Amino acid sequence: MTLMMKAKQVADEVYAAIRLRVEELRRLGVVPRIATILVEGDPASAFYAQAKQKVAEKLDISFELHTFAKDVSQQEILRLIAQLNKDPQVHGIMLELPLPKHLSAATIESSISPRKDVDGVTPQNKLATMTGEVGLYPATPQACIQLLKYYGYGLEGKNVTLVGRGQTVGLPLFHLLQRENATVTVCHSRTPDLAAHLRHAEIAFVAVGRPQMIVKEMVHPDLVVIDAGINETDNGKIVGDVAVDVSEAVAAISPVPGGVGTLTTAVLYQNLLKALEIQSQGQEVR
């Protein structure tokens, strides 16, 4: 019978550990604080920002939401980030995407202090993700690996097929998998026979942003699948990059919703505490 690798239990354990650490910090007079920048115009971004705020409140973490009109200038956002970078009471900074076309996400993300970059999007943290040096690694790739390990699946020496090489999930996940000593094959839009690679894989991570592109005929009964895709269909339903009936043909799979996405927000707040530690120890992210 297929194991459904649901994330609620592991996320609850992560949140419990975070709460304990926040209590300790508050007793020491330190209030963990995160600032989120939201530009109006995308309802999904506003929803996710509000969801993160609710989680922060449950964790007793201070949450600042800075909202701009959709015609905001890039300079206004950069000025705010400069202020947040200098503020010792702010320990993490997030930028909600997507942004209006007149704004450069790359420029704005690069202006965030690497020591406060809890999304792991600055060039310094991208490099740290590759090298394993001190830094803040992206939350979703970390969530993929944490979920897999929670259910007892190791990566060392395993044949892993990674479907997707995007900057947000696929590429940083590749580097994290390499550091776990997995043998990784990266597949993408120009891979001619994706099924052939999946047939030889023990573990597959799928992060392409294409609804249900992995179908039952591509997999095998011993395969373990982590689906990092979150896609909204025309009727408003949330589905992954893996077709639902694949769950009938593999050893284990993470569901969508209820899988990687559920754990990602928890890992984001793990990153906030790591950021606070980096700052308190005077460490640099290079």
| CATH assignment of the domain containing 252 | 3.40.50.720
Together in a domain, 156 and 228: yes
Annotated binding site for NADP(+): 164-166, 230
Q: Please list the residues that pair with 38 across neighbouring strands.
A: 67
Q: What pLDDT was estimated at residue 242?
A: 97
Residues spanned by the domain of 244: 139-262
Q: Say if CB 122 and CB 134 are below 8 A apart.
A: no
Q: Kindly report the CATH number assigned to the domain that includes residue 43.
A: 3.40.50.10860
Copy the structure tokens of residue 160. 């892993």
CA angle 149, 152, 153 (to 5 degrees): 70
Looking at the structure, tell me whether residues 178 and 91 fall in a common domain: no
Are 38 and 68 spatial neighbours (Cβ–Cβ below 8 Å)? Answer: yes
- Distance, CA of 149 to CA of 152 (rounded, Å): 5
**Residue in 141, 139, 136 with CA at minimum distance from that of residue 112:** 136
Residue 47 within any structural domain of the chain: yes
Phi and psi at 62, nearest 5°, equal -75, 130
Same domain, 65 and 154: no
Binding-site entries: 164-166, 230
**How many independent structural domains does the chain possess?**
2
Predicted pLDDT of residue 285: 84
154 and 247 in a single domain? The answer is yes
* pLDDT given at position 85: 98
Q: 149 and 106: one domain?
A: no
Phi, psi of 28 (to 5 degrees): -90, 0
Residue among 278, 269, 263 nearest 22 (CA): 269
pLDDT per residue as tens, the chain (286 positions) = 899 999 999 999 999 999 999 999 999 999 999 999 999 999 989 999 999 999 999 999 999 999 999 999 999 999 999 999 999 999 999 999 999 999 999 999 999 999 999 999 999 999 999 999 999 999 999 999 999 999 999 999 999 999 999 999 999 999 999 999 999 999 998 999 999 999 999 999 999 999 999 999 999 999 999 999 999 888 888 899 999 999 999 999 999 999 999 999 999 999 999 999 999 998 888 7
